[in-house]
Structure formats: C-alpha cells, structure tokens
C-alpha cells in the first residue's frame, strides 16, 4: 500500500478504534486486576522504519541484560531484514505484517492477536511516535505491561489510553535515548508521572559491531570485480554513494546533479577511488542515470548487486560512504566505515547514525520541518535545505578521508 493510503487508514479508522478500544480496555480493567510480576516475554513494535531496528538495539540489549527478558519484535515484512543484521532478536520471535495489500494487512493483524497470546507476551514496548495502528496492536496484545510515548500536554497524535507506562517523548535528545527511556520505564520499581525520570548516558547508545569472515568479504569482492574487471583491492579503494531515500519522506534526497558533481570531484582528487552507486534493484535505473551523468569508468552502477544482508559486508570492505539521510548510515553503524550523511528535513541531533558518522546539515530556519508534533508529514515541496548544500562544501568535508585514502600505500 502507498504511504498516504496507510496514513488515511490510520487516521479515519485508527481514531475511532482507539477511542472505542480505550473505553473497552478501561471497562475491563475495572473487573480484572493487572499483573505486577516482572515481564519475561517482551515485545517491541516498530513497523515502518528499517533504521529504527538498529537504533533500538542498545535498548533491547539493556533489557536483555538487566531483566533477562526474552525479546520479541513486530515489524512490516519488507523491513524484517534490518533485524537480521545484528540478530539480537531470534528469528522465531519476530512477527511480520504484510502491507502489500489491504487483505493481507487485515489478516496478519488478527493473527497478531493470537500470536501474542501464544507467545505469552507480558509486556509490549511501542516504539512508534506517529501510528495509531501500533497503539491498537499494543492495546489488544493481551499484555499487562504496555509502554509507549504519550503526548501529555504536547502536540501529538491521539492514540487512545492503552498505556500502563506513559513515557514523555523528549524532542531534545536522540531517538535512541528515547528508546532507552521506554526500557527504563518498564524496569522502574515505582510508578512515575511521567516516565522516565532517568538520565541516559551517551555510552548507553553504543551499537554492537558485526564481524565478517574472509569468505563473506571475498564474495563481495567477486561481485565488485564482476562489475569492474580492473578491480584490485591493492590498487583501488571503494567509495560508496547512496543517492536514494525512503518513499516515506522523499524530501530527504540531495539533488542528483549535486551527487554527479561530487562524484566527479572525488574521482579527480583520488585516482585510486572506485565509486559504487548503491541502491536496491528498483533504484537501478535511477543509479544508471547518475552513472551516465558522471561519465567515468570508475563510477559503477552497483544498485541491486548485493542483497540486503550483504550490505554490512560491503561496508566493511569500503573506505567511506556519502549518503542521504536514510537507512544505510544506520546499517553501516555496525561496521567501522566512516559515513557522511546529508540532512535536510530531519535533524542529526535526533536521528543521526550511531556509527562513525559525520552529519552535513545546512540548519535553515525551516529545518527540521518534520517532527513528532506534525506526524512527520511536511508541506514542503521544494527542499531548499538540501539544495543549498553544494557539492564543493560536501567535498571539503570529506576531503580528509580522501587524503587518507590517497596516502594508503599501494602494494
């Protein structure tokens, strides 16, 4: 389903269902006592953002370490591969919802209500800020402990009154710290209004690093060689360019002509640079146009050449990446590859990658224009916040890395 269709359903069907569901839940609570035992089977819900599956990992690991809880996760089926990168949640504990058409969406929603009870889920942590649908999943999960963000007196969506632990979303700290606050609320020994009156240190949002075998790396190198026959790891150094962004917010895309100019500058500066334009198979045509704009054999259309699971391995054999604000910088956080992320409608202060990353941000008066208060939907149709970030400026930012690459001795 299209994003706007899902938003329409979430509003026109979600609002009345949240109201009626809240009335029902509060009526039930009058007759049934709520459990007070420490949760053993905890379900995290984050459906639409692949990057959030990485950003929530420190929170999940904290809950696992401090409470010994068995972790579960619910996510849209197309986004499940993001959970497979770090494997914090066992595959059998992941519930997927198909969003390709309305019938599958409805069927999987009702199956979810059976699945949570079969799994004896006793706590749900709703990671979403903008979805009434996840509020309903949380409310009818059957779990006595329900944790999520609550607007209180702030602007925000009406999401009903299902939560047992209402956490005040803090728009001034990174979203990964907000996720930790949700876990802290669940672990709290006493009731708070609002949750969570705890400090989240920077050290708590450190991402675990992945380790790849020599065979895994060789497979990627072989794919690179199939696209660029001259490739030799001792002679060429891989630089990645990710020019795309999720359909959820297309205003995050830096202009293609800017990417073209930047790539030309990189290739002129570094004779050893091999630029790979990444993307999924659907983006291959767009990547080809960018390659043709550059017109250099050391610029390769690499879109769709590796699977999602192979992306981190690609990052591990690459020197750096320049990317729009999207999923790849978050996936790259599980490696040591430097990333340079171009921000516009969102702010790196809240949604920056937790990896070895450098944000590039113009900071216009209108930026960021998407937030929890506007349901992450902007009226902007002219992303000047990205257009004013010129290729020459980005080149200056990444230049130290290019100098490092040029200084690597050729064997």
Listed residue (66, 72, 64, 62) closest to 42, CA to CA? 72
Q: Distance between CA atoms of 152 and 238, rounded to whole angstroms?
A: 48
Rama region for 146: left / alpha / beta (φ>0; ψ in -120 to 50; rest):
beta
Domain edges within the chain: 3-205, 214-407
Q: Is the pLDDT of residue 235 over 70?
A: yes
Average pLDDT on 385-403 reads: 96
202: confidence class by pLDDT, cuts 50, 70, 90: very high
**Cis status of the peptide bond prior to 69, with omega within 30 of 0:** no
49: confidence class by pLDDT, cuts 50, 70, 90: confident
Q: pLDDT averaged over the chain?
A: 91
6: confidence class by pLDDT, cuts 50, 70, 90: confident
- Token pair, residue 346, equals 């969102």
pLDDT of residue 70: 96
Q: Which residues contact 122 (CB under 8 A, 6 or more apart)?
A: 35, 37, 39, 40, 41, 42, 143, 144, 145
Q: pLDDT tens, 264-306?
A: 999 999 999 999 999 989 899 999 999 999 999 999 999 999 9
Burial of residue 211 (CB within 10 Å: 0-12, 13-18, 19+) is: exposed
Q: Is the pLDDT of residue 32 over 70?
A: no
Q: Distance between CA atoms of 96 and 204, rounded to whole angstroms?
A: 28
Q: pLDDT tens, 356-390?
A: 999 999 999 999 888 766 777 788 888 999 999 99
152: confidence class by pLDDT, cuts 50, 70, 90: confident
Q: Is the pLDDT of residue 34 over 70?
A: no
- Burial per residue of 64-98, b for 16 or more beta-carbon CB atoms within 10 angstroms, e otherwise: beebebbbbbbbbbebbbbbebbebbeeebbbbbb
pLDDT of residue 66: 94
Average pLDDT on 104-132 reads: 94
Q: Is the pLDDT of residue 35 over 80?
A: no
DSSP string of 191-256, one letter each residue? --SSB------GGGGPPPPP---HHHHHHHHHHHHHH-TT--TTT-EEEEEE----GGGGGGPPPH
pLDDT of residue 369: 87
CB atoms within 10 A of CB 179: 25
User: What interhelical angle do 132-139 and 14-29 show, nearest 10?
Assistant: 20
231: confidence class by pLDDT, cuts 50, 70, 90: very high
Q: Is the pLDDT of residue 130 over 90?
A: no
Average pLDDT on 74-92 reads: 93
Residues paired with 299 in a beta bridge: 275
Nearest 5 degrees, angle CA 232-CA 234-CA 238? 70
pLDDT of residue 33: 61
pLDDT of residue 378: 81
59: confidence class by pLDDT, cuts 50, 70, 90: very high
pLDDT of residue 159: 87
The second-level CATH assignment, the architecture, of 214-407 is: 3-Layer(aba) Sandwich (3.40)
Comparing 275 with 253, the larger pLDDT belongs to 275
Listed residue (200, 195, 143) closest to 169, CA to CA? 195
Average pLDDT on 164-175 reads: 92
Q: Is the pLDDT of residue 263 over 80?
A: yes
9: confidence class by pLDDT, cuts 50, 70, 90: confident
298 secondary structure, DSSP code: T
Q: What is the largest distance, in Å, between two alpha-carbon atoms of the chain?
A: 75
- From start to end of 292-364, where are the E strands? 299-301, 320-324, 339-343, 357-361
Q: Which residues contact 54 (CB under 8 A, 6 or more apart)?
A: 82, 85, 86, 207, 330, 331, 333, 334, 354
38: confidence class by pLDDT, cuts 50, 70, 90: confident
Domain 3-205 in CATH 3.40.50.2000: yes
- Token pair, residue 114, equals 């059976």
Going from the C-alpha of 190 to that of each of 165, 194, 196, the distances in angstroms are 11, 12, 11
Q: Say which residue the tokens 């109201």 belong to.
A: 19
Residue 373, SS3? Answer: helix
Q: What percent of the chain has pLDDT over 90?
A: 70
Q: Is the pLDDT of residue 30 over 80?
A: no
Comparing 222 with 13, the larger pLDDT belongs to 222
328: confidence class by pLDDT, cuts 50, 70, 90: very high
Burial of residue 159 (CB within 10 Å: 0-12, 13-18, 19+) is: buried
Asked if the domains at 3-205 and 214-407 fall in one CATH topology, the answer is yes
């Amino acid at each position: 389903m299209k994003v706007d269709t899902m938003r329409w359903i979430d509003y026109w069907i979600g609002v009345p269902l949240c109201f009626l569901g809240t009335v029902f839940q509060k009526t039930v609570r009058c007759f049934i006592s709520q459990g007070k035992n420490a949760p053993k089977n905890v379900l995290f819900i984050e459906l639409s953002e692949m990057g959030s599956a990485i950003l929530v990992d420190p929170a999940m690991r904290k809950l696992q370490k401090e409470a010994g809880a068995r972790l579960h996760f619910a996510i849209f089926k197309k986004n499940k591969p993001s959970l497979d990168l770090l494997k914090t949640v066992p595959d059998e504990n992941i519930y997927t919802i198909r969003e390709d058409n309305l019938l599958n969406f409805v069927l999987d929603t009702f199956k979810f209500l059976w699945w949570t009870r079969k799994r004896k889920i006793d706590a749900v942590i709703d990671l979403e800020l903008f979805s009434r649908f996840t509020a309903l999943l949380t409310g009818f999960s059957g779990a006595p402990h329900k944790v999520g963000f609550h607007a209180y007196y702030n602007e925000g969506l009406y999401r009903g009154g299902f939560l047992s632990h209402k956490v005040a979303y803090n728009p001034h700290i990174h979203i990964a710290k907000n996720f930790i606050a949700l876990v802290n609320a669940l672990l709290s020994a006493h009731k708070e209004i609002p949750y969570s009156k705890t400090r989240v240190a920077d050290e708590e949002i450190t991402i675990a690093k992945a380790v790849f075998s020599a065979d895994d790396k060789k497979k990627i190198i072989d794919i690179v060689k199939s696209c660029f026959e001259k490739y030799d790891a001792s002679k060429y150094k891989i630089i990645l360019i990710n020019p795309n962004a999720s359909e959820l917010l297309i205003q995050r895309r830096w202009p293609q002509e800017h990417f073209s100019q930047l790539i030309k500058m990189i290739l002129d500066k570094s004779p050893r640079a091999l630029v790979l334009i990444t993307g999924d198979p659907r983006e291959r045509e767009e990547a080809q146009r960018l390659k043709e704009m550059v017109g250099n054999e050391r610029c390769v259309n690499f879109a769709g050449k590796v699977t999602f699971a192979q992306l981190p391995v690609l990052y591990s054999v690459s020197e750096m990446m320049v990317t729009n604000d999207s999923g790849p910088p978050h996936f790259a956080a599980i490696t040591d590859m430097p990333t340079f992320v171009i921000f516009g409608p969102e702010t790196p202060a809240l949604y920056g990658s937790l990896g070895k990353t450098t944000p590039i941000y113009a900071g216009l008066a209108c930026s960021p224009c998407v937030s929890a208060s506007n349901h992450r939907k902007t009226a902007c149709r002219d992303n000047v916040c990205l257009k004013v970030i010129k290729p020459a400026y980005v080149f200056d930012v990444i230049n130290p890395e290019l100098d490092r690459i040029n200084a690597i001795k050729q064997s």
